[in-house]
Amino acid sequence: MSPDGPITVVVDPGEPPYDAPPFLELRGPLDTRRLESALDRIAAGRPDGPDWQHRLRPHGPGLHTLALTMSAPGEFPAGLLADLLTDPPPAGRSVCAVPPSPLQHELLADADAHPGTGRHVEQLGWLWHGPLDPERFTAAWQSLFDRESVLRSAFADGPEPRIVVHDRVKAEVVRLPHSAADWAALVEYDRCRGLDPRRPGPLRVTVLGGDPVVSATAQPTRVLLTYHHALLDGWSARLLLREFYRAYLAGGCLPGGERRPDMADYARWLADQDTGPARTFWTDATPPPGVTHSPLPVATASDPVPAGTRTGTGRTRLRLTAVQTARLGAWAAGWGSTESGALQAVWALLLYRAAGTADAEPVRFSVTVSGRGILFDGVERLPGALRNPLPMSVVVDPRGSVPELLGLLRDRALDMAAYEWVSAGQIRTWTEDRAEPPGAVGSLVAFEGGPDGPDDLVRELAAQGVRVDPPETLGAPTAFPLTLVAHHDGDGGLVVTVSHDHTRPAGIGGVLAHVAFLLDELPRVAGESTTISEVLARLVDADAETDADTSTGTGTEAGTPPTTSVGQPADADAPALITLRPARNPGAGTVCLVPSHGTPRFCYELLARSYQGPEALVLLGAALDDGAGYEALRPLIEAGGHLVLGGFSGCGVAAYRITRLIAASGGRPPLIVLTGAATSAGDLARLLESAAERAG
């Protein structure tokens, strides 16, 4: 039995009148130091509560009972104790502390201000064709964690946040069968599960499918990396993926020692920088507030949902064909620019158009920079949080030419390159908030990229019968209400995703249609003397044609590929109690799963498929509080039949409070079965079956 394996806690309320502390059964490897630490934490949080004594009795390998005696009447927080015991053990000892950069300070503060939203949690997905050795796959990631200090890092709480590097962190690699969930659902659940930057290990690996022996009809394996921007960025994820391939090809062990330079080296370099020139640059380069209008129409009296009241996160996507993309790249290069510069120019045109002015006007948005254009040796090989959103300002003159606009944006980007290490928060301080005026609607334009797998790795993988597709960045909710993210897909097409901070803002499809139209149209028509007013006139003509086609029911958005929307928020009218599996016979009883934050829905669905007992399996709604959870279960309680509560670490407090409400109403409080997130669905199903037999 592994000493760091999962532990399961069964909370037994005992006998009527249920006013004594419950007994706890501890199943699995028990570290008594963790038990003492958990009890000390509870005592520290209840300085005015009654004292207690505990007695731990062993009953064989991996089985103990914990009895508690209170010095005075009172309720012992057994659910909290169960959560603390089933939570994964802390990482190894810390070996050094690194001061976070200003950018990391800001990312952490924004993530803390929006808990449970998946803010700054990004993902990278790709297909793995051919055999996959699960043990070698996991060992290769563990080898990477052992070598990369950033993968063993976490923020430590305190007056001044510090990044603490631990000597040992276990890589989290989750493997699921193809039948567990479809890919889109898995991606969304894993994003909602989030990552805690205060817990070591800012990267999680999920594998859908995969087998050492693959048949001719087998589906390819899907692999998903999930990581937190406060410690890693998209460039880092691709860099680490390349190193993972090296480790996998080496049998699961990456040659060499700790990577250098690392984030500690970068922190020392950052501390040596003189902020004076950067401050002068941004102060001079930031004009008074200009156009920041979103090209989305605002709510009117006819709009039943006022602006700022919609909730949720939505994403809409378009794709240019490989031919369109190649034409765009060649056209931009002809004017000394890039595809990224062309996308910025398109967005500047749409912001200017939304302002409804005929005069030259500065427009303002933010762009991401890689953070790796700085004079720091080895920065291109450094995994960390360096990608940085910086403000971009450019004057759009309708009498000026499109090439002139491209040149202005290019020159601005080159000037900014020397100061990619400066954060947006520092700039706001230096410019007295001119960079982001109060009430402005901000937007971000990002072009994803990073190091690809070298050809030698591709050839070596192919020699072992493995082919891997280029990884695709799946985006992350950011601090901006609207974000455009572009990347190339495996076929050479340009994919642009618009993310927005409410469900279906009016006009989002039209905005994306305008982006697609301009990206396709500019290379066709924009020459040396083509003015911005001429391009905007073509956009008006395209809108008129689209409106005419729509009125007759015969057309689609002119010049645009179809778009799709994903990432809709959960239904506000979702049921309080979800039946995962009905009872196999009347009166068989019920096993109720209590959700915990970060555990995706498909984990409970897997558990229901694994459960062999006759009881019904139900799941409480994720948004319910304790009282609402009790009310949802009350019909089942009143109908008779035994009840068992269960779930993964983090739901213990809610589950125990529900049992107390049941006891207070005169009912028989159920057993609670709580286990760690690393426990498989099959193992928890068997533990619940045993508890249900005992309760029946």
| pLDDT bucket at 114, cuts 50 / 70 / 90 | confident
Beta bridge partners of 172: 204
Query: Which amino acid is located at 32 in the chain?
Result: T
Res. 230: pLDDT tops 50: yes
**HEC states along 131-190?**
CCCHHHHHHHHHHHHHHCHHHHEEEECCCCCEEEEECCCCCEEEEECHHHCCHHHHHHHH
Output Rg (C-alpha) for the chain, integer angstroms. 28
Res. 434: pLDDT tops 70: no
Helix intervals (H) in 639-680? 652-664
Mean pLDDT of 439-465: 81
For the stretch 168-204, pLDDT in tens is: 899 999 888 877 667 888 888 888 778 888 888 899 9
User: Which residue shows structure tokens 């996959």?
Assistant: 132
For the stretch 302-311, pLDDT in tens is: 222 334 434 4
pLDDT of residue 572: 43
Kindly state the helix (H) or strand (E) to which residue 486 belongs, with its residue range.
strand 482-488
For the stretch 473-520, pLDDT in tens is: 887 788 888 889 998 887 889 999 888 765 445 566 677 788 989 999
Report the distance separating Cα 475 and Cα 483, nearest Å.
10
- How many residues appear in the chain? 696
For the stretch 339-370, pLDDT in tens is: 999 999 999 999 999 888 889 999 999 999 99
Q: 420 or 194, which is more confident?
A: 420
SS3 state at 498: strand
Indicate the DSSP class of residue 685.
H
Q: Print burial letters for 358-372: b (CB count within 10 Å at least 16), e (below 16).
A: eeeebbbbbbbbbbb
Q: Is the pTM above the cut of 0.75?
A: no
Output the CA torsion sign for 273, 277, 280, 282. negative
